[in-house]
């Protein structure tokens, strides 16, 4: 179940106005995200770290920002961006995996694009959030079954 905690009707990414603050270090990736990025010709060691504490894959940082943030604050993998980036202008506040997984999304604070641009497609946000949950559940199961070495071998 996906809960959007606060409503935003319209949004446009105004990354130059805010200095691309959403493109921070440590953006969480799913295995499918990693495979899409790798298919672009990137080596896993260049862009990927594993957060042992939270048991998740994250994008490496470059100068305190996302590894894929270009010199003009543009996303260098826009057409293949991670699911977390596709959830913008919402960020994940909490994910709980119980009988029914629950994700809580909240708008990014102080975003200059809020209220501008296209109407937000809530069905798409919910679909992307559901995909994120499904892929993370699979990763958790695979980690228990195969371990980190088994996961890395698949990548």
Q: What is the pLDDT of residues 53-85, one digit of tens each?
A: 888 899 999 999 999 999 999 999 989 999 999
CA distance 136 to 113: 29
pTM for the model: 0.88
Do strands 48-51 and 28-29 pair parallel, antiparallel, or not at all (unpaired)? unpaired
Buried b (16+ CB within 10 A) or exposed e, 79-113: ebbbbbbbbbbbebeebeeeeebebbbbbbeebeb
- Please report, for residues 9, 24, 113, 144, the alpha-carbon distance to residue 15 in angstroms, rounded to integers and kept in the order given: 19, 12, 8, 38
pLDDT at position 154 is 80
Q: How far is the C-alpha of 103 from the C-alpha of 2, rounded, in Å?
A: 5
Q: Which tokens hold the place of 47?
A: 């862009």
CB 58 within 8 A of CB 97: no
Q: Comparing C-alpha atoms, which of 120, 96, 123, 124 is closest to residue 108?
A: 120
What pLDDT sits at residue 68?
96
Mean per-residue pLDDT over the chain, rounded: 91
What would the pLDDT profile of 83-141 be if each residue is shown by its tens digit? 999 999 999 999 988 888 999 999 988 899 999 999 999 999 999 999 999 998 888 88
């Amino acid at each position: 179940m996906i809960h959007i905690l606060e409503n935003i009707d319209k949004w446009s990414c105004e990354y130059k106005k805010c200095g691309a603050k959403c493109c921070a270090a440590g953006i969480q990736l799913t295995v499918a995200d990693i495979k899409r990025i790798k298919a672009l010709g990137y080596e896993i060691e260049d862009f990927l770290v594993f957060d042992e504490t939270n048991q998740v894959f994250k994008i490496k940082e470059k100068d305190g920002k996302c590894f894929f943030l270009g010199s003009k604050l543009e996303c260098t993998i826009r057409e293949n961006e991670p699911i977390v980036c596709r959830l913008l202008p919402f960020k994940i506040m909490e994910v709980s995996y119980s009988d029914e997984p629950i994700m809580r999304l909240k708008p990014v604070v102080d975003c200059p694009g809020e209220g501008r641009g296209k109407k937000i497609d809530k069905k798409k946000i919910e679909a992307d959030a559901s995909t994120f949950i499904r892929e993370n559940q699979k990763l958790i199961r695979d980690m228990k079954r195969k371990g980190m070495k088994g996961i890395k071998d698949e990548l």
